[in-house]
Amino acid sequence: MEDVGQEKTEQATPRKLEKAREEGQVARSMELNSVVIVTLGLAAVYLLGPALTAHLMGGMRHAFAESARTVINPGTVQGFIADQMGRFAVMLGPILLVLAVLAYLINVAQVGVLFTTKPLELKPDKISIAKGFKRIMSKRSLVELIRDLIKTTLIAIIAYQTIAGWLPTMMDATDMSIGAIAAALGRLSLLLTLKIAIVLFLIAAFDFAFQRFDMAANLRMTRQEIREELKETEGNPLTKARVRQIQREMARKRMMAEIPKADVVITNPTHIAVALQYDSKTMPAPMVLAKGQRLIAERIKEIAAAHHVPIVENKPLARSLYKLVDVGAYIPATLYRATAEVLAYIYRLKQKKGVIGG
């Protein structure tokens, strides 16, 4: 049922958050992924640059040295290509592996370990033109457009200022050796990369915060939705009340079935009735088989009378037993003496009846 006219003002419940996570709806910033991978990738290239250059130059020297003795044919060309590809794999393989691990770790840092195929499922709203247009014109798209414009503008400004500051140095490049020019360009590239990385990290941090805020806003619920969820998870209150009532009735029937086993029923006399059983050979103390007030107390006395269970009036003891002892529990030590007096009285009556009957 749609919640017509209701505003989504309530925070998402843990169950809805879990369902959204199962569907792949998580707060994740692709900007943060990109800036971490690109920045650390460039850092890896910069640190491994000398080794990569030496490896590449070694391969070129070998190729030029062997070129005079190499017969050009399809086999040698394929062998040369395969050799160069192998060299590039050796050079770039570790970097690509590091980047793959970084990409996984940055995703885990944002959303935790999550494996789901739900986002890959074809759904009608994914191919709906109306839904697509709505997504294009949404608040998220507007924020992302503004973010990209700011990012592009800042990168252009930083690049211009950095390169402009290095122009005097580069103007003197005619007096430098090739190695010095390469070193100067390397320093310029590193400085430019660091400045851009700082800006991108700040933008990525903003984007990550926005993604979390936007996800929380999209998952908000109406009060009716929360009530419906409670019904699903905990059951309808009316049904739960009915179940509890049935359970109480079943427990009462079991309790009433135990009354014929009692040795005595102690009463208030009209408001409370407590049925006790005691076997000195098997029980450490007398046990309460049944107890109740008013109508239930009357029913206990009826069943006791029908099965010739003695009924004894003892108001203080009846109240204490009813208040302190649960059905199926042994009486506490504080009530031993009062209970023992009642049981002794019952046993004396039984003995007299036995004598008379004999």
Lowest mean pLDDT among 60-74, 101-115, 148-162, 260-274: 60-74
Give yes or no for residue 4 having a pLDDT over 60. no
The reported pLDDT for the residue numbered 247 is: 80
Give pLDDT, residue 356: 36
Look at residue 261 and tell me whether its pLDDT is greater than 70.
Answer: yes
Residues 6+ apart with CB under 8 A from 316: 338
The per-residue pLDDT for range 49-84, each reduced to its tens digit, is 677 777 777 766 766 676 666 666 777 667 767 777
Q: What is the pLDDT of residue 1?
A: 44
Could you report the per-residue pLDDT of 208-245, keeping only the tens digit for each? 888 888 878 877 887 777 777 777 666 666 667 777 88
What integer pLDDT is reported at residue 312 of this predicted model? 85
Give just the sign of the alpha carbon dihedral 19, 23, 28, 29: negative
DSSP labels, 264-282: EEEE-SSSEEEEEE--TTT
Q: Is 204 exposed, middle or buried (0-12, 13-18, 19+ CB in 10 A)?
A: buried
pLDDT, position 358: 37
CA distance 195 to 193: 6
Q: What percent of the chain has pLDDT over 70?
A: 76
- 145-193 pLDDT tens trace: 888 898 889 889 988 888 888 777 666 666 667 667 777 777 777 788 8
Write down the CATH superfamily of domain 256-357: secretion proteins EscU (3.40.1690.10)
- 253-261 mean pLDDT: 88
Res 347 pLDDT > 80: no
Query: Kind and range of the H or E element at 57?
Result: helix 30-67
From the number of C-beta atoms within 10 Å of its C-beta (0-12, 13-18, 19+), residue 334 rates as: exposed
Assigned token pair, 113: 């370990």
pLDDT at residue number 2 = 47
- Rounded to the nearest 5°, which phi and psi values hold at 307? -105, 15
Judged by average pLDDT, the poorest of 76-85, 121-130, 287-296, 346-355 is 121-130
Tell me the CA distances in angstroms from 332 to 153, 267, 313, 325, one per residue in order: 82, 18, 20, 8
Q: Where are the domains of the chain?
A: 14-230, 256-357
Mean of all residue pLDDT scores within the chain: 77
pLDDT of residue 237: 67
Tell me how far apart the alpha carbons of residues 247 and 281 are, in angstroms, rounded to a whole number: 33
* Terminal Cα-to-Cα distance of the chain (whole angstroms): 78
Instruction: State pLDDT tens for residues 302-329.
Output: 998 898 888 888 888 888 888 888 888 8
Predicted local confidence at residue 355, as pLDDT: 39
Residue 136 is predicted with a pLDDT of 61
In tens, the pLDDT along 5-20 reads 567 777 777 777 777 7
Q: Provide the pLDDT for residue 6.
A: 64
